[in-house]
Structure 1
């Protein structure tokens, strides 16, 4: 049993990780912007967020290990510097507090989105050269956060996890966009397949990611990063599988990328009036690419495994029908 700090412990992935740690009888310190009742002796809540050095230090005191999952992951913010304030400088606060608290090891949860798209159908590995021109502001800020974390490697052990496209039961919002598409399709509100339908993502079930993050912490080599993916699928296959498993057959049509770009123009006008846009150009330009990733390193070194897309999607459909549909 250990004392373990978790930032982002109330988020989509973080909540699953916290449940695992508590079930394993660890004492978990969770930093949260909201107040929570202390309903479990093993779960200790600390009010604050990662932009506050003092809040981070207070929550991390007495901990042996630290998981850093907190971040701003939405597609838009009226102040672009906010991404860097949270995802980059917030990571600096985590690392400095961990060193001061004599934490043994930090696991930084970044994103596979900073890695390049696949070429010639070959899955991307952790060491592939980046394509910064394809990065969103979110991904640029996450990359910067990783560089900040790595600058402390001579003072503390660091391991890094790169989850791919995470889906499953949880908040149905931008952080869980694959599940959001599934929900809206089941409700008859989603009728679009992005682009020509051939663009590919690597979909991974949220429980498998939480397990993988813990494996990275426990078994990962210091200084190494590990991709945590599941199964690649084109947009066409994703929706074909959704139709098959749900037995729901709403009409769907391909929406060309140039048309989607034109929609973002309208969305940006809305943003200037203070409304949150549904789409941004920097996310749209990622649609045509193949974002196939290889989790071979995590499988080989950590014993990581993930369920099939069909199994995870079936579970998610059942959950959506019991809660949201």
Structure 2
């Protein structure tokens, strides 16, 4: 089977491409002309140049039986509101329309738990839960909600679309890195003297990739599946990193108003004076919530693997160190 992948140069996409190749699929990957191709080097992949909003996507998909739409623009900067809408919402609309016109049998759309929202009092939520869009923190989460609605509407009109909602993946090929990878890197670089009391759901990125393929093979049209594993406090994650590396974890937490104040000054004041902002307001606001999820539907219906998180953290640490992002003692 020949499959078309958007976002193959990114973290989840690069792991998905490797899995597809290992399982015998032929892969055609969409990449912008400005994209770094490091994650695809040495792979037997047909790379085609284009953008999510290109009118010629249909022709690029010709001959493919399935589409994995993994690509998305990720930004927590409030100034990127329009870019998030253009790429995530209109880009998804264009990809789905192109897949339909190209006669693609099934599309797997990569949403995010960001589109679902968070439960009250830190309680885990499943696929049946939905925060009102106005309560989703930041334009990124809201753009992922509206992008997912494009997939839902496409399925309602008869297109074969399955939705997957990854939580926070960790592992190899996190080149940018992602926000979760950045936590690991800042720990490795000894740049985390304290932590914020928050929690998140972690999953091995290879399990996320497998979840995409399982969704293609077993998913129900129009359904969404949370691709997650273990709910952990940030302190627990840092303690596990300490055990892996031998370095002490930060021992004290700081109240959220401190980084929130720094972020407000950074983004609202210094950025207007020409200084590139370093701390996004919406990123701090997200950290004030416990982002816990229940992935049991994907485990039960798809057979989603659940690799132990400590093993996944170790793989992430080794990958960052091997590629010179950080050093171990």
* Change beyond 3 A, Cα 1:193–1:41: closer
Cα distance in structure 1, aligned partners of 2:250 and 2:153 = 51
The offset of 1:69, in angstroms, is: 0.7
From 160, 166, 170, the equivalent of 2:169 is 166
Q: Any conservation in 2 of the 1:99–1:155 contact (CA below 8 Å)?
A: no
Q: Secondary structure at the match of 2:24?
A: coil
* Change beyond 3 A, Cα 1:52–1:276: farther
Q: Could you give the per-residue CA deviations for residues 133-185 of structure 1, whole angstroms, max 9, x where no partner exists?
A: 233211111111111222222231010000001122223535x2222222222
Structural RMSD (CA): 2.2
Partner of 2:139: 137
> Does the alignment pair 1:91 with 2:92?
yes
Q: Any conservation in 2 of the 1:165–1:201 contact (CA below 8 Å)?
A: yes
Q: Secondary structure at the match of 2:286?
A: coil
* Change beyond 3 A, Cα 1:249–1:79: closer
Q: Any conservation in 1 of the 2:173–2:319 contact (CA below 8 Å)?
A: no
Cα distance in structure 1, aligned partners of 2:322 and 2:119 = 37
> Does the alignment pair 1:156 with 2:155?
no
Cα distance in structure 2, aligned partners of 1:105 and 1:276 = 42
Cα distance in structure 1, aligned partners of 2:288 and 2:65 = 43
Partner of 1:227: 226
Note the residue ranges of structure 1 that are not aligned, 5 or more in a row. Answer: none
Q: Any conservation in 1 of the 2:53–2:94 contact (CA below 8 Å)?
A: yes
Q: Could you give the per-residue CA deviations for residues 171-208 of structure 1, whole angstroms, max 9, x where no partner exists?
A: 3535x2222222222222222301xx2x2100111111
* Change beyond 3 A, Cα 1:229–1:251: closer
Partner of 1:69: 70
Cα distance in structure 2, aligned partners of 1:265 and 1:295 = 34
* Change beyond 3 A, Cα 1:39–1:272: closer
TM-score norm. by structure 2 comes to: 0.90
Once the two structures are superposed, the pairs formed by residues 284-295 of structure 1 within 5 Å of their partners are 284-295=284-295
> Does the alignment pair 1:27 with 2:29?
no
Once the two structures are superposed, the pairs formed by residues 235-254 of structure 1 within 5 Å of their partners are 235-249=234-248, 251-254=250-253
The offset of 1:24, in angstroms, is: 2.0
Q: Secondary structure at the match of 2:201?
A: strand
Report the number of matched residues. 319
TM-score norm. by structure 1 comes to: 0.91
The offset of 1:253, in angstroms, is: 3.2
Cα distance in structure 1, aligned partners of 2:304 and 2:31 = 29
Partner of 1:10: 9
The offset of 1:77, in angstroms, is: 6.4
Cα distance in structure 1, aligned partners of 2:22 and 2:3 = 13
* Change beyond 3 A, Cα 1:59–1:307: same
Cα distance in structure 2, aligned partners of 1:107 and 1:100 = 16
Partner of 1:44: 46
* Change beyond 3 A, Cα 1:219–1:128: same
Q: Any conservation in 2 of the 1:106–1:159 contact (CA below 8 Å)?
A: yes
Q: Any conservation in 1 of the 2:239–2:249 contact (CA below 8 Å)?
A: no
Partner of 2:256: 257
* Change beyond 3 A, Cα 1:60–1:190: same
> Does the alignment pair 1:312 with 2:301?
no
Q: Could you give the per-residue CA deviations for residues 3-58 of structure 1, whole angstroms, max 9, x where no partner exists?
A: 1110111111001111111222222111101386998795211111102121x223
Q: Could you give the per-residue CA deviations for residues 254-278 of structure 1, whole angstroms, max 9, x where no partner exists?
A: 2211111110122112332455422
Q: Any conservation in 2 of the 1:29–1:45 contact (CA below 8 Å)?
A: yes
